Amino acid sequence: MKRFFKRREFLKMSSAAALAGLTGNLTGDQAPEKALTIEEAARKVGKLPRRKLGYSGQEVSIIIGSGDLADAPKEAGILCGMNYWHKANQWMRTGTPESILKNREAHICQVTVDRVGGDRHTGRIDEEEHVSYVKEALKSTGLGYFDDMQLHYGYYSAEELKKERGFVRAFERLKKEGLVKHLCLSQHGYAGNSRVPGGESMAEVLTAVVDDGLHEHAQFIYSYGADPEMDRFMELARKKSFGTIAMKTARGIGRMKEDEEFMNKLPAGTSPHNALTRWLTTETMLDAVVMRVRNLDEFVDSYSGAGKELRHKDARAIEMMTVQADKTACRLCTKCQPHCPQQVPIAEILRFERYAVDDHDWSKARSLYAGLDRRGDACLQCQTCVPHCPQGLNIPDKIAAAHILLS
Ligand code: SF4
Ligand code: SF4
């Protein structure tokens, strides 16, 4: 494990140096390697290919950025032609990057809009409040307009989509004023969720959204490993020119990289993130992908695979990663959820476990876990959920371990 610990330390230092603008040599005994500069990182990745985001017609980089991307990878991304910014409203807190403000028309900025009066399970869609929020976000970011207005976390069911049009009305009002251009959503699954009676799976809601025809593209959970329902949805989306962006793509890779035995078995010249980026951007029906990176080293490792051929060794790596991740990391499909008599929010808990174990974002994971109204200690270890998990995960054991980890 020693070798991996050293590398993690170096990655942290390299990122910190770049953020501070120290783009030359790191000095001191700890880091004999030279930290990457933003320009070097951008050169190693090269120009990111672009694709049309469904019938919205927007030409987007196949790897998109996010409002919470750290400064160094963000600037390197811009040099590589990264032009789509999910959660651009996060810049209300941190300030809008000058490089985007001074070249506003070259960028596609998205505002994510949450339900109000509660969290994503209990809050409501509210036309007036959504209009006010977007106007406030525009004032505060100085962006002038948002290209995309996204319903964050999506609809609970096809029925809600049909009956609750407050978000669409808010979009239409803002569009008339020239403040937004395209309507979209990000979607999670709500089937069997105790706080969302009548909730449906991600694929069910997204299929209804495509048939409904008002939203132009969607962002949803998708990663490697068999997912026939989402593959069927993506076929439909492609047929109807509905745009698709995958998120939460790096299932289980954080813990995989700390497993020295597993890493030593990977084919030489591959890495989990690089193989995954190649696969996502060339072997799936996706238009674009969000993949979290924390620093310039991860930026180069992950994004240098964008749009590049999946070599034999990458395909082998993906096979090995699938077997490994299926044993360790929940794909958040929610298939287990309706079968739990205790209504334990299994997928939610295992999503927070991923934030902690894979992304090392412990404070986010713990604070989200603390906000749950039912936690892992409600599990009776009855095993009813287990046969419904396509990965065959030992759900009760994982829930018990997550409870200890996140409490
Ligand atoms: S084992 Fe726990 S999580 Fe699974 S169905 Fe029983 S109570 Fe629910
Ligand atoms: S535990 Fe299994 S069934 Fe439940 S969400 Fe995760 S992968 Fe799907």
Look at 63 and 19; give whichever has higher pLDDT.
63
Q: Is 198 found in the same domain as 164? A: yes
Ligand 2 atom with least separation from CA of 334: 5
* 254 and 307 share one domain: yes
Domain match, 157 and 236 both: yes
| 208 belongs to a structural domain | yes
Q: What average pLDDT score do residues 139-144 get?
A: 98
> Is 22's pLDDT higher than 90?
no
* Under 8 Å between Cβ of 292 and 359: yes
Nearest CA to ligand 2 atom 6: 330
Whether the pLDDT of residue 315 is over 50: the answer is yes
Is the pTM for the entire model greater than 0.75? yes
Identify which ligand lies nearest to the alpha carbon of 388: 2
Q: Are 322 and 224 in contact (CB under 8 A)?
A: yes
**Is the pLDDT reported for residue 58 higher than 60?**
yes
HSE, side-chain direction, 13 A CA sphere, residue 305: 25
Residue nearest to atom 6 of ligand 1 (CA): 382
Q: State pLDDT tens for residues 238-263.
A: 999 999 999 999 999 999 999 999 99
As a whole number, mean pLDDT of residues 118-133 equals 95
How many domains are contained in the chain? 2
274 CA to middle of ligand 1, Å? 36
The mean pLDDT value for 33-42 works out to 90
Averaged confidence pLDDT in the chain: 91
The reply to whether 271 falls in a domain is yes
The DSSP-derived string for 316-375 is: HHHHHHHHHHHHH------SSGGG-TT---HHHHHHHHHHHHTT--HHHHHHHHHT-SS-
Residues 177 and 275 in one domain: yes
Q: Which two tokens stand for residue 263?
A: 């890493």
Residue 392 lies in domain: 337-406
358 and 274 in one domain? no
The percentage of the chain sitting over the pLDDT mark of 70, rounded to a whole number, equals: 92
Candidate from 27-41, 72-86, 312-326 with smallest mean pLDDT: 27-41
Reduced 3-state DSSP string for 138-164:
HHHHCCCCEEEEEECCCCCCHHHHHHC
Instruction: Considering only residues 82 and 359, tell me which one the structure prediction assigns the higher pLDDT.
Output: 82
Please name the residue whose Cα sits nearest to atom 2 of ligand 1.
379
Residue 111 CB less than 6 A away from ligand 2: no
In the predicted structure, residue 20 carries a pLDDT above the cut 60: no
CATH number of the CATH domain containing 266: 3.20.20.100
Exposed, middle or buried: residue 293 (CB in 10 Å: 0-12, 13-18, 19+)? buried
Conformational region of residue 225, where left means phi above 0, alpha means psi within -120 to 50, and beta covers everything else = left
Instruction: Name the phi and psi angles at 124, rounded to 5.
Output: -120, 160
Q: Identify the band that residue 194 occupies on the pLDDT scale cut at 50, 70 and 90.
A: confident
Domain end marker among 298, 328, 358? 328
**Of all atoms in ligand 2, which is nearest to the CA of residue 388?**
3
pLDDT at 69: 95
Bridge partners, residue 218, by sequence: 185, 244
| Nearest to 394, CA basis, from 325, 323, 327 | 327
Per residue in 257-294, pLDDT (tens digit) is 999 999 999 999 999 999 999 999 999 999 999 998 99
